[in-house]
Structure 1
Amino acid sequence: MKKTNRRTLAQNPFLGAILAVVACHASHAKADDRDHRRPDHDDRAVARHVLLISFDGLHEQDVARCVASNACPNIALLAKDGVTYTNAHTPGLSDSFPGLAALVTGGSPKTTGLFYDVSYDRTLYAPSDANCSGAQGWNVVFDETTGIDGQNGGALTHLDGGGAFNPQAIPHAKVDGVCKPVYPHDYVKTNTVFEVVKASVPQARTAWADKHAWGYDWLNGPSGAGVDDLMRTEINAIDPKTNSNYTDIYTHTEVFDDLHVQALVNQIDGKSSTGDASPGVPTLFGANFQTLSVAQKATVATNGGYLDASFTPGPQVSAAIAYVDASLGRIVSELKQRGLYRSTSIIVTAKHGQSPTDHSKLVKNGDTVAALLQANNYLDPKGNYGQNATKTGNLNDGSGLADTGFVQSDDVSLIWLRDQHQLAQVVKSLKDNLSCNAPGICADGPYAYLLYGPRIAAAFGDPKQGRTPDIIVQPNPGVIYTSSASKDEEHGGNAPDDGHLGLIVYAPGMKHAGRTVDERVLTTQVAPTMLRLLGVNARRLHSVEIEGTQALPGFDGERF
């Protein structure tokens, strides 16, 4: 088994970011050689169903620790029947949008155009600009406010987000001279596995459940019709039993995630996600789970997160891992009861990890990147840009300003400049203030970097085309660009804890069950793997074709 030199990648963070997007794909050029070298899967055994489960926040270290300590028996059993990839990583950015896009398109933000659920596009017009006659450049927000409950800043009172799109959240684009609305499925630039399966497998059905009822419409892909059963569940909806949303504490998030467990059980039983009909078991289906992520973000003072740099889980994380393991057990048990386990491939992974797991590295200085840009007049000095510029004070109500530039910061900072001609000046200002001392941006360590110019274009696309940020600031690991007192971990960037994920693949007909693969892989490789398991040509995925994404080792033969 060939091993990746992890030390080299760790010592050069820029190499790590670029290799995660470009070089890893290039290294898979000799797919047939690897197929003969590692015949882990019988290509003749094509699965009838593929189930993808994303336990957000699930690090590789979480899997290794809980399996070794018998704390996750169901995950351990799946690993025993499948293959565990110990060196799996997100493609450069780890927010939920690019994290999930990697899994279902086979592509990085360079081809999908998804950088964050809150981002910016220089080519778009405001939701209120139905003629596309005003200024271009819009802060695109596809989150809980994308449902109609969020219209005019309304309360999020319905679990389904209100049952429709919030028109104030939908920007416009001029397409062939015609001004058209841009829904989330229009915003993603490449097709999804759901679309490919529906087009390639006779009578195929597809299904998915996620955390935002309407923001995740992009899973439908550009056709707008990729997912037959897209469960509309909104995690930030107000639970009438508690008068709070489902993210206030991990035990409340379990209530939300239980809806997704039941949806999968219903679908395994041949029903719809709500249990109302009997359309048959989906060909490709899955769900996202948030309990572990919420427990990881919780503060140390409330027993959240981890106890040390070795990923020893604190009380909340320990309980959350037990919950996700039990949830997996319920799902697999239902497959076995229905006689479907030997015809269903199962992939367990995550959209993203969480950082920092070592809380001794935690730094919360607030959004010092935005503050520095405002102080130097690169963005509005009073913060009047993006969602901060709404005339009403309500987020995502369409009343914001266009052409303002934008900054999105969590444990990374994505910068879309108001004036792209100021790139060199902005970079100089950032480099002059790399330390953690005010007004510094805390990016002066060996794992920190600024990505801009030709290097960002190579990794993520040319910013001049409108979607790619002009600058990405990856701060020192442990830095969270917030002053929030409610969380001690975040994700979104390329810190080590963000992108190193758990990944287990079980497939019918596996020749070497229980195997561990330590070769570096990307989560983009999950998408072509799912298609190969269904006997579908993975190159029908646009991102796979453009980026040269290969299936995971052991599933990368050329026989389909």
Structure 2
Amino acid sequence: MKSLLVGTALLSSTALCLADDHRHSIDHVLIVSIDGMHQQDLARCISDKTCPNIAALARHGVTYTNAYTPGLSDSVPGLAALVTGGGPRSTGLFYDDVYDRTLYAGTDTHCTGTQGVEVFLQEQVGIDAMNGGALVHLDGGGAFNPQQIPHRKVGGKCVPVYPHDFIQTNTIFEVAKQNLRHAHTAWSDKHAWGTDWVNGPSGKGVDDMARTEINSIDGPAGNDFTGSYDGIAPAYLHTEVFDDIHVENILNEIDGKDSAGKTPAPVPTIFGTNFQTLSVAQKATNLSGGGYADAAFTPNPFVKDAIAYVDAAIGKFSAALAARHLSDSTLFVLTAKHGQSPADHARLKKIGHAVGTTLTAYVGGGSDPVTGNNLGNGQVTDDDVAFVWLNDPSQRAAAEALLAASTACPPVDPTTRTVVAVVPRICADNGGAVIDLGAMPWKFGDPANGRTPDFMVQPNPGVIYTTSQAKDMEHGGFAPDDGHLALVVSHPSLRARTVDSRVTTAQVAPTAIRALGLDPRLLESVRKEGTRVLPHALSEYRDDDDN
């Protein structure tokens, strides 16, 4: 205990010394995620001169050519890496649709039912979705949906588990607020209430959380912001409308107002947003103009337009910072939560929900028709990766045997690239794998603790677990195109530099905290996973590579 107290005191004194260091000049960190942006997209648009504003950031910044997600590439663990410094092992965040064997359903307010519940960190968390309601409000209805807030027993009481209770480590927002006097934080994202977890376990990390829901209905066609506005125009143009809201949020915050532009507010200490337009343009079918023309990431028209749109928005941010004389005091981080797969359309295979079909006898045994919560039989979540949660440990051997026996690919129609016969084949026989996560608790945590999936199925590159005719790309797992991301750290004092050594997007978090003059070890994930500051990102610190 004495050693622990001494260590804590040393950590606190280090943070104070850094915060009081007069050499420190960074007062703001702006983090922008262009969801779906591969490193290849960044390199190509700079060389082709189609993203002049992003190129301008790179001219005064460090470009990391081998930046990867620290683990999974779903938007939730992707964002968690940026704001915690860790992967699923420490954060407990695997996906936006997960399962926890220790929790009770949102409707089980006395914790008397069966343990094991599906946990959403997406649009269902807003009250609009209560009783399966339509998502008619941009702010998700203005409150949490109690049916999608699971419960746990604590000291004999049955208490709700909000998304900020679900994350297992603190965030950069909490660290800034707890260690910097007058710190102010802000964030804008795609789910109004599902993204509440960025507040961290305190529930108070973000002062100005813009509650915007991308899946809210908008337009005469009855689609959300990921679908065509009028049923005719490409969907990504509608997504630009949603992203425009976030652009205004950031511009208002730079201008000394709250995200809505209604009241005066300090320019945030840490703030940022993400763009969805590129991701939607990538997912659009290749035939319609989405995705890429070849394996070299030559953009098709939708992707080219989407990058131009985002670049213009980046230009607005840079211009606003300059106009308010904030450029010199702001570290600008441009990156992505995730990529998209497959870039090479020739490798695409859509094989439906093959993992769930294979394991029908063991998982997915029915859901509550009101809440959608699974009733205790486990769960499969899939995109271009699949996760399997088994509620009964005795099923492990049988489930693993079924998966191992079904790794071959089913026949796929060469035109539609979809499966032509219903066969239990998961397509993990050539570059894919069935991975028993229970055998590697040091990497993802122990399934016995309730949160970690039992199995992960990473299919062959190019395979996505869908038969949808509306999308040709997906993300979520370890496919080659999922995790290799754009990453630029920019500041006027930095000279243009390229770093080719492998880094992870989790290193953004300790870099942000160090830039503000604080000890990165104040982040729990940094301590647990040993995450280092990005090399060469902070020119004012000669020892930045050693943290």
Aligned partner of 2:400 among 414, 424, 427: 427
Q: Distance in 1 between matches of 2:455 and 2:269?
A: 40
Check the 8 A contact 1:125/1:132 in 2, yes or no.
yes
Aligned partner of 2:479 among 456, 476, 495: 495
Q: Tell me, which stretches of 5 or more residues in structure 1 are unaligned? A: 1-41, 392-396
State the AA in 1 paired with 2:501.
Answer: E
SS in 1 for 2:287: helix
What is the aligned partner in structure 1 of residue 213 from structure 2? 234
What is the aligned partner in structure 1 of residue 317 from structure 2? 331
Q: Distance in 1 between matches of 2:22 and 2:466?
A: 48
Q: Distance in 2 between matches of 1:262 and 1:365?
A: 40
Identity of aligned residues (%): 57
SS in 1 for 2:153: strand
Check the 8 A contact 2:368/2:375 in 1, yes or no.
no
State the AA in 2 paired with 1:427.
Answer: E
SS in 1 for 2:333: strand
What is the aligned partner in structure 1 of residue 446 from structure 2? 462
Q: How much does 1:378 deviate?
A: 1.4
Q: Distance in 2 between matches of 1:401 and 1:96?
A: 22
Aligned partner of 2:37 among 50, 58, 72: 58
State the AA in 2 paired with 1:390.
Answer: D
Q: How many residues align?
A: 503
1:515 paired to 2:468: no
1:408 paired to 2:381: yes
Q: How much does 1:217 deviate?
A: 0.4
Check the 8 A contact 1:125/1:402 in 2, yes or no.
no
Could you give the per-residue CA deviations for residues 4-47 of structure 1, whole angstroms, max 9, x where no partner exists?
xxxxxxxxxxxxxxxxxxxxxxxxxxxxxxxxxxxxxx993431
Q: How much does 1:131 deviate?
A: 1.3
1:530 paired to 2:512: yes
Check the 8 A contact 1:47/1:508 in 2, yes or no.
no
1:187 paired to 2:166: yes
What is the aligned partner in structure 1 of residue 251 from structure 2? 265
Q: Distance in 2 between matches of 1:454 and 1:123?
A: 17
Check the 8 A contact 1:90/1:500 in 2, yes or no.
yes
What is the aligned partner in structure 1 of residue 460 from structure 2? 476
What is the aligned partner in structure 2 of residue 101 from structure 1? 80
Q: How much does 1:177 deviate?
A: 2.5
Q: How much does 1:401 deviate?
A: 4.2
Could you give the per-residue CA deviations for residues 226-277 of structure 1, whole angstroms, max 9, x where no partner exists?
0000000011111146532111100010010001011100000000000011
Check the 8 A contact 1:390/1:399 in 2, yes or no.
yes
What is the aligned partner in structure 1 of residue 530 from structure 2? 548
Aligned partner of 1:390 among 368, 385, 388: 368
1:362 paired to 2:343: no
State the AA in 2 paired with 1:402.
Answer: L
Q: Say if 1:501 and 1:399 are closer, same or farther in 2 by CA, change over 3 A.
A: closer
What is the aligned partner in structure 1 of residue 99 from structure 2? 120
SS in 2 for 1:295: helix
Which aligned pairs between 1:69-84 and structure 2 lie closer than 5 A? 69-84=48-63
SS in 2 for 1:306: coil
SS in 2 for 1:162: coil
SS in 1 for 2:350: coil
State the AA in 2 paired with 1:459.
Answer: K
What is the aligned partner in structure 1 of residue 282 from structure 2? 296
Q: Tell me, which stretches of 5 or more residues in structure 2 are unaligned? A: 1-20, 228-234, 411-422
Q: Distance in 2 between matches of 1:241 and 1:433?
A: 44
State the AA in 2 paired with 1:289.
Answer: F
Q: Distance in 1 between matches of 2:391 and 2:258?
A: 46
Q: Say if 1:399 and 1:51 are closer, same or farther in 2 by CA, change over 3 A.
A: closer
The TM-score normalised by the length of structure 1 is 0.88
Higher relative contact order (CA 8 A, sep 6+): 1
Q: Say if 1:326 and 1:85 are closer, same or farther in 2 by CA, change over 3 A.
A: same
Check the 8 A contact 2:184/2:267 in 1, yes or no.
yes
State the AA in 2 paired with 1:355.
Answer: S
Q: How much does 1:210 deviate?
A: 0.2
Q: How much does 1:555 deviate?
A: 4.1
What is the aligned partner in structure 1 of residue 18 from structure 2? none
Q: Say if 1:407 and 1:253 are closer, same or farther in 2 by CA, change over 3 A.
A: same
What is the aligned partner in structure 2 of residue 15 from structure 1? none
Q: How much does 1:329 deviate?
A: 0.4
Check the 8 A contact 2:327/2:491 in 1, yes or no.
no
What is the aligned partner in structure 2 of residue 306 from structure 1? 292
CA RMSD of aligned residues (A): 1.6
Could you give the per-residue CA deviations for residues 199-242 of structure 1, whole angstroms, max 9, x where no partner exists?
11110000000001000000110000000000000111111465
Could you give the per-residue CA deviations for residues 282-319 of structure 1, whole angstroms, max 9, x where no partner exists?
11000011000000000012110000000000000000
Q: Where do 4+ consecutive residues of structure 1 move more than 4 Å?
A: none
What is the aligned partner in structure 1 of residue 331 from structure 2? 345
What is the aligned partner in structure 2 of residue 49 from structure 1? 28
Q: Distance in 1 between matches of 2:155 and 2:478?
A: 37
Q: How much does 1:453 deviate?
A: 4.8
Q: How much does 1:399 deviate?
A: 6.0
Q: Which moved more, 1:450-459 or 1:472-481?
A: 450-459
SS in 1 for 2:338: coil
Q: Distance in 2 between matches of 1:412 and 1:547?
A: 24
Check the 8 A contact 2:126/2:144 in 1, yes or no.
yes
1:504 paired to 2:482: no
Q: Distance in 2 between matches of 1:178 and 1:508?
A: 53
Q: Distance in 2 between matches of 1:134 and 1:370?
A: 25
Q: How much does 1:398 deviate?
A: 2.8
Q: How much does 1:130 deviate?
A: 1.1
Q: Distance in 2 between matches of 1:334 and 1:372?
A: 53
Check the 8 A contact 1:87/1:521 in 2, yes or no.
yes
Q: Distance in 1 between matches of 2:238 and 2:40?
A: 25
Q: How much does 1:136 deviate?
A: 0.5
Check the 8 A contact 1:363/1:479 in 2, yes or no.
yes
Could you give the per-residue CA deviations for residues 510-554 of structure 1, whole angstroms, max 9, x where no partner exists?
3xx110000000111100000011001111111111111111112
Check the 8 A contact 1:362/1:479 in 2, yes or no.
yes
Check the 8 A contact 1:120/1:406 in 2, yes or no.
yes
Q: Distance in 1 between matches of 2:185 and 2:127?
A: 25
Aligned partner of 1:155 among 111, 134, 154: 134
